[in-house]
Amino acid sequence: MGGDKENLDLSDLNASLPAAAAALSAEDRAGLVNALKDKLQSLAGQHTDVLEALSPNVRKRVEYLREIQGQHDEIELKFFEERAALEAKYQKLYEPLYTKRYNIVNGVVEVDGGNDEPASENAAEGKDADAKGVPDFWLTAMKTNEVLSEEIQERDEPALKYLKDIKWARIDDPKGFKLDFFFDTNPFFKNSVLTKTYHMVDEDEPILEKAIGTEIEWYPGKNLTQKILKKKPKKGSKNAKPITKTEVCESFFNFFSPPQVPDDDEDIDEDTADELQGQMEHDYDIGTTIRDKIIPHAVSWFTGEAVQAEDFDDMEDDEEDDEDDDEDEEEEEEDEDEDEDDEEEKSKPKKKANRSTFSTSYHRRAGHKEVLINQQIASSSRTVVVHSAT
């Protein structure tokens, strides 16, 4: 059965690790890796204890169930392989469309025909009449997204106006994906491309191993991730020059400097590890938001249509949560009524017990019917909203 703790193969457990824990298991993080191994050894021991506590007949059935699970996992692996191949196929079909988008956004080509509709009263007169392409396209698209808007500071915006395109691609060795940010020549940094790479232990789960960002070559005095503070010297001080202090500040460009774990495992305590897990989860959330939402649907984020779609989805989720809460309240009321009726049954003569029981049963049915009606009304309301939106 392979229950020896010493023979535990950690590679077999990668697929079941949560992303936050696996995010701390990079090869260069010896301290956290050892702690993770100890934890897995402990869990494996608990798993073995559970099986050993079963009777031989039950244990035999569980072992057979594990064989079935193994067959399931083999099929699932084929699904992941075919899905990756399918995604690669359609990624090639998307590329020509992304190229057309790039050319229009950056003014490489002009759109034929144009729009003959009269300009609205809110249209800016002459502000972008002579502009090439679509100004601030990627900046606006990212600022419209809730996750990314929290990362973009006001001082970042002048630099992000030079962003020409964002692309992503899978990488095979090691597994993962990368994001490429293409910038026009700008007064902030020398790089024409900033890259963020995510190395995955298991791309399909996904389990993050580590993230690597491009080192930005800032021009002097233009580093948006740092804030320079100047303090006047004290009176009577021999040094008349102001004291200069540099502090790290919030910036979208911190995205290219992902959190790192100290090499010395003695510097890592439980609170630090938890904080790093949170930072890495957040960093990965930003990366997947850009990959899965912004890049494929950029114009919808630019116009704000994507926000409306997400808000509608959130509204549906809230309605479903409200319905669940109503059902819970109904059940609680029914339980309370049932308890009250039970107490009445005990205090009243047995002859009246049938009437009391019937009354409770009817109340339950009436309450259940009311819930169903409310659900139907809520469903009808959602249908009307969807219909009107289309």
Model pLDDT for residues 317-342, shown as the tens digit of each residue? 566 666 666 666 666 666 666 666 66
Q: 268, 31 in Cβ contact below 8 A?
A: yes
Residue 93 predicted with pLDDT over 50: yes
What was the pLDDT predicted at 242? 76
Is pTM, for the whole model, over 0.75? no
Separation CA 269–CA 274 (nearest Å): 9
Q: 145, 290 in Cβ contact below 8 A?
A: no
3 or 220, greater pLDDT: 220
Give me the numbers of helices (H) and strands (E) for the chain, helices first please. Answer: 10, 6
Q: 229, 247 in Cβ contact below 8 A?
A: yes
| Mean predicted confidence (pLDDT) in 300-310 | 91
What was the pLDDT predicted at 338? 62
pLDDT band, residue 17 (cuts 50/70/90): very low
| Mean predicted confidence (pLDDT) in 374-381 | 29
pLDDT digits (tens, 9 = 90+) for 35-52: 555 555 555 555 667 888
Instruction: Give me the helices (H) in 167-220, please.
Output: none
pLDDT digits (tens, 9 = 90+) for 105-160: 999 999 987 555 555 555 555 566 788 999 999 999 999 999 999 999 999 999 99
What was the pLDDT predicted at 308? 83
Q: 247, 226 in Cβ contact below 8 A?
A: yes
What was the pLDDT predicted at 260? 75
pLDDT band, residue 207 (cuts 50/70/90): confident
| Mean predicted confidence (pLDDT) in 250-270 | 81
> Residues of 21-35 as b/e, b for ≥16 C-beta within 10 angstroms?
bbbbbbeebebbbeb
334: burial class by Cβ within 10 Å (0-12, 13-18, 19+)? middle
What was the pLDDT predicted at 339? 61
- Identity of the amino acid at 314: D
